[in-house]
Amino acid sequence: MKYKDAGVNIEHGKRVKDSLLTHVKATWGKHVLSEAGAFGGLFEVDPEISSPVLVSSIDGVGTKLIVAQMAGRYDTVGHDLVNHCVNDILVQGARPLFFLDYIAAGAVTEEMAGSVVRGIAEACKANGCALIGGETAEMPDLYRKNDFDLAGCIVGVVSKDAIIDGSAIVPGDRVFALPSSGLHTNGYSLARKVFFDELGFELSQFVDELGCTVAEELLKVHVSYLQAVKELGERVTVKGLAHITGGGMVDNIPRILPANCDAHIERDRRSAPPVFEFMQKKAAIPEKEMYQVFNMGLGMIVIVGEDDAAGLRNETDPDLIHVGEIVAGKRTFIFS
């Protein structure tokens, strides 16, 4: 008996890995000290960062994976994964240093693993982040042949005195938001149910209300807010940032509020991507549920002081939406 008889092909796995090296190495800068094939990735901490604090997060992309698999399109979920993680550490003021990915599948093919890692590497490069490690596991007894799962871990850095934690937020502060491209990576169990079970749509179906096919809508890439937040930070003091992921604004905004503050969001929804209203109407999803499951068009919440806000509202930046203000309260999200 040999390992191959147990469904695992070591040689094939090695070939897939070797074919990805070019993409992976393209993300490396002078801080990466390890060679390909090392047990761990080595990343040198820049001595110019004073009082460095590492900020780290691990995540997956949920069942957006199933849509990718149905569509046979594997590169976009790699971008989703990286951008999601970049945003998760960005809210504490960190910029990304390096990333590691985990892919598990029933069968590791060059088409799937190759495309996923290429997407991850491209997104890492775009975010100035080195892809220094990864694991690709072939587990035919755990995953069906075409099924796979994907997780990624990011490590970034922020100087201790530049950590953003929401503690400076006071009543009177203004709440802005940066727009999402669509569902990003949350609520896909519900969205798939709406599109495929309730409406009986195929991926290739063109939906007039959305202006694109179901596949195009559901695979829209999660936006990285790194550049936008960096630019904002150069103009104003950012007091708080909330990445709107699972749990929506309902759960994610309170995570950064002081105990005596509420975030009061009043919003003209006409500017949101139409996918949210479309799903809500078609499947009769309660309003509160929508705001707890989906980002509702707002991917990143930005809280600034009243004075700074005045300057921002005079700008004609279409990507910065004024959505509400901070009021005295008890760490709650209020929508009206």
- In the region spanning residues 187 to 216, those forming contacts with a second copy, defined by CB under 8 A, are 187, 189-190, 192-194, 198
Question: According to the binding rule CB under 8 A, does residue 181 interact with a second copy?
Answer: no
Give the length of the chain: 336
What Rg do the C-alpha atoms of the chain give, in angstroms? 21
Minimal distance, residue 120 CB to a second copy, in Å: 12
Q: Which of residues 50-89 bind a second copy (CB under 8 A)?
A: 51-60, 62-63, 65-66, 88-89
CB 293 within 8 A of CB 229: no
Minimal distance, residue 330 CB to a second copy, in Å: 16
Q: How far is CA 319 from CA 25, 227, 238, 241, 314, in A?
A: 33, 12, 16, 15, 13
Please select the residue that binds a second copy; options are 26, 71, 212, 283, rule is CB under 8 A.
283
Please select the residue that binds a second copy; options are 71, 126, 153, 162, rule is CB under 8 A.
153
Size of the site for a second copy (CB under 8 A): 83
Q: Phi and psi for 209 in degrees, rounded to 5? A: -60, -25
Minimal distance, residue 13 CB to a second copy, in Å: 9
- Can you tell me the distance from the alpha carbon of 13 to that of 113, in angstroms, rounded to the nearest whole number? 10
Question: According to the binding rule CB under 8 A, does residue 3 interact with a second copy?
Answer: yes
What mask, x for binding a second copy by CB under 8 A, covers residues 243 to 282? x--xx-------x---------------------------
**Bridging pattern class, strands 212-213 and 238-243:** unpaired
Site stretch for a second copy (CB under 8 A), options 16-24, 143-151, 265-273, 302-310: 143-151
Cβ neighbours for 27, distance < 8 A, ≥ 6 positions apart: 121, 124, 125, 129, 130, 131
Tokens of 29: 């800068």
Cβ neighbours for 142, distance < 8 A, ≥ 6 positions apart: 104, 106
- Can you tell me the distance from the alpha carbon of 249 to that of 235, in angstroms, rounded to the nearest whole number? 25
Q: CB nearer to a second copy: give 21 or 310.
A: 21
Please select the residue that binds a second copy; options are 39, 161, 268, 336, rule is CB under 8 A.
39
- Can you tell me the distance from the alpha carbon of 217 to that of 202, in angstroms, rounded to the nearest whole number? 12
Half-sphere exposure of 148 (CA within 13 A, CB side): 30
Minimal distance, residue 190 CB to a second copy, in Å: 4
Q: Which of residues 78-137 bind a second copy (CB under 8 A)?
A: 88-89, 91-92, 94, 97-98, 100-102, 104, 132-135, 137
Q: Which of residues 15-34 bind a second copy (CB under 8 A)?
A: 33-34
User: Residue 162's CB: how many other CB atoms inside 10 A?
Assistant: 15
Minimal distance, residue 238 CB to a second copy, in Å: 14
Minimal distance, residue 95 CB to a second copy, in Å: 12
- Exposed e or buried b per residue across 195-208, where buried means at least 16 C-beta atoms within 10 angstroms of its C-beta: bbeeeebebeeebe
Please select the residue that binds a second copy; options are 26, 71, 126, 151, rule is CB under 8 A.
151
The one-letter amino acid at 126: A
Site stretch for a second copy (CB under 8 A), options 155-163, 263-271, 298-306, 312-320: 155-163
